[in-house]
Each structure stands twice: as C-alpha cells, then as structure tokens.
Amino acid sequence: MQLRLHIWRQAGPSAEGMLKTYDIGNVSEHMSFLEMLDVLNEELMLKGEEPVAFDHDCREGICGTCGMVINGRPHGPASRTTACQLHMRSFKDGDEIYIEPWRASAFPVVKDLVVDRTSLDRIIQKGGFVSVNTGNALDGNTLPVSKIDADLAMDAASCIGCGACVAACPNASAMLFTAAKIGHLGMLPQGQAERSTRAMRMVLHMDAEGFGGCSNQYECEAACPKGISVDWIARMNRDFVKSSVVGRE
C-alpha cells in the first residue's frame, strides 16, 4: 500500500519542531509499524537525509521503549498494543498517518520522536520497591499469598513503563503508572511494611516532576497497552489519604 506520513521532526531539546510530510510506497500489511519506519529511514539515508529518530528495542511489546502518538492515539489505533506490535494491516492504502512524540512537560523531547522518561524512574526511586537486601529472604513458601491477590498484583505489575498513560492524559498525569506500582506492592504481604510511606513519597514526587493530577478522563486506561485498570488509581488515592491522616512522615 501507499501511505502519506506526517512526522514530527525536532533536531534537539531546544530546537523548534515541525511536522514534515513523507510519501512511502510498497508497504506490506505484514510489516510492523516500526518496520515501516525502518524502510522509510533506509530510503531517507540513501537520499542523504537524516533518518527519523525513534526509540525502540525488544519489538515484542514488553520493554516499553517504543512510544509515539499515531493519529492522535498513543501507540496507535489497535487496543492493548504497543507501537512495535502494531501491524500495517491496521491501515489501508492511501491513508495519511500523523506521528508525534509523547507530549508532556515531564517528558522533554530529546530528538524527533524520542523523549526523556527518566522522571518515571525517579518516581520509583521514592518508594517503588520492597526494602529487602539480598540474603534477607525466608523460604518463598513461608508466606502464602492467595491466588486472587497474586493475580491482581500481577495485573498491576504488568505495567511496562512506556508512558502512554501520560501521553494520553489531558493533564499529562502519571497517576496510572504510579498507582500500578503502589497497587502491585500493596496487594502483597511483602509490601505492607512500607505501604503508607510508599504512597506518600511516590505521589508527592510525581507532582514534583511536573506531572499533572487526575480528573477522571480514563484516557490512560484506554491507551495502556497492558490494559491496566483505573481502579488502581482509586486504590492509590485511598493509600495516600490514609497515609496523610495516620502516616508518621
């Protein structure tokens, strides 16, 4: 198929960006979206032009490296699908496709479609862990965890940290990301000792990084390639309020 692409080009963090238009032919429906961009980049390079910079790595939907807004939707039109797992059979001959980076002040653009998401790591640093040094552990079966709780924890833990929730949110909030980690650890007995301080510190740091608040649009859940539920945000809010009232920090 033949496509017209409008791609955000920006030389560096402080440079001005703009959409540039490229025509591409011979796109097979079996190609992944990123393979289509690979083909475009090879063509650009042979013409002596700079290829489009975009982040990607595993190309199987689990590392969370890739991320771009495709026709206004983070990771594109297919639900529960990362950009790398989106295939061209989701498009048809003659389509025009707009490709832009994640837009959020906490995710500054590095170049073209590449953004800096280290703010998410810094949220984790404030409490997204269980403080257990190597060697401390008891036998794994000394602490039974109900299958239901373990499965729910796993639902939350399947977040890949791609940042699509932030890109989808009109307030550029990282609530779903933060809530997923607080929820994962809070569902498990191992996470109880730090449950209160974790919620307080992570939420405050989320604000400090410049992410916005939640106004219940639920765009995050719709954009999440792993289908993480907004219920986790409600749970995080409970932990946060409880921590504000009874917390000792």
Partner 1 sequence: MQLNSNVPDGPLESKWDDYKAHLKLVNPANKRKYHVIVVGTGLAGASAAASLAELGYKVTAFTYHDSPRRAHSIAAQGGINAAKNYQNDGDSVYRLFYDTVKGGDFRAREANVYRLAQVSVNIIDQCVAQGVPFAREYGGYLANRSFGGAQVSRTFYARGQTGQQLLLGAYQALERQIGLGSVKMHCKNEMLDLVIVDGRARGIVSRDLVTGAISTHMADAVLMCTGGYGNVFYLSTNAKACNVTAAFRAYKRGAAFGNPCYTQIHPTCIPVSGDYQSKLTLMSESLRNDGRIWVPKQKGDTRPPDQIPEGERDYYLERKYPSYGNLSPRDIASRAAKEACDAGRGVGPGGKGVYLDFADAIERLGIEVVRDRYSNLFEMYERITGEDPYKVPMRIYPAVHYTMGGLWVDYDLMSSIPGLFVLGEANFSDHGANRLGASALMQGLADGYFVVPYTLGGYLAKGGFDKVSAEGPEAKAARVASQEKVQRLLAIKGKRTPASFHRELGKIMWDYCGMARNEAGLKKALELIPALRAEFWSNLSIPGTGEELNQTLEHALRVADFMEFAELMCLDALHRNESAGGHFREEYQTEDGEALRNDEDFCYVAAWEYAGESTRPILHKEPLTFESVELATRSYK
**Which residues in the 151-190 window bind partner 1 by CB under 8 A?**
151, 153-154, 157-158, 160-161, 184-185, 188, 190
Output DSSP code: residue 32: B
CA 67/CA 100 separation, integer angstroms? 9
Size of the site for partner 1 (CB under 8 A): 81
Does 45 bind partner 1 (CB under 8 A)? Our answer is yes
- Beta bridge partner(s), residue 178: none
Asked if 138 interacts with partner 1 (CB under 8 A), we say: yes
Residue 156: CB partners within 8 Å, gap ≥ 6? 179, 180, 181, 183, 184, 187, 228, 232
Grouping H, G, I as helix, E, B as strand and the rest as coil, residue 230 is coil
Write out the binding residues for partner 1, residues 210-229 only, by CB under 8 A: none
Return d(Cα 163, Cα 178) in angstroms, integer.
Answer: 11
Candidates 16, 147, 245, 246: give the one binding partner 1 (CB under 8 A). Answer: 147
Helix, strand or coil, per DSSP, at residue 131: coil
Establish if 1 lies at the interface with partner 1 (CB under 8 A).
no
Is 42 near partner 1 (CB under 8 A)?
A: yes
Q: Is 14 in the site for partner 1 (CB under 8 A)?
A: no
Contact flag: residue 133 with partner 1 (CB under 8 A) = yes
Other C-beta atoms within 10 Å of 243: how many?
Answer: 19
Q: Smallest distance, Å, CB 93 to partner 1? A: 17
Q: Does 21 bind partner 1 (CB under 8 A)?
A: no
Question: For residues 38 and 231, what is the distance between their CA atoms, to the nearest angstrom?
Answer: 38
247 makes contact with partner 1 (CB under 8 A): no
Binding mask 49-88 for partner 1 (x = CB under 8 A): xxx-x-xxxxxxxxxxx------------x-xx---x-x-
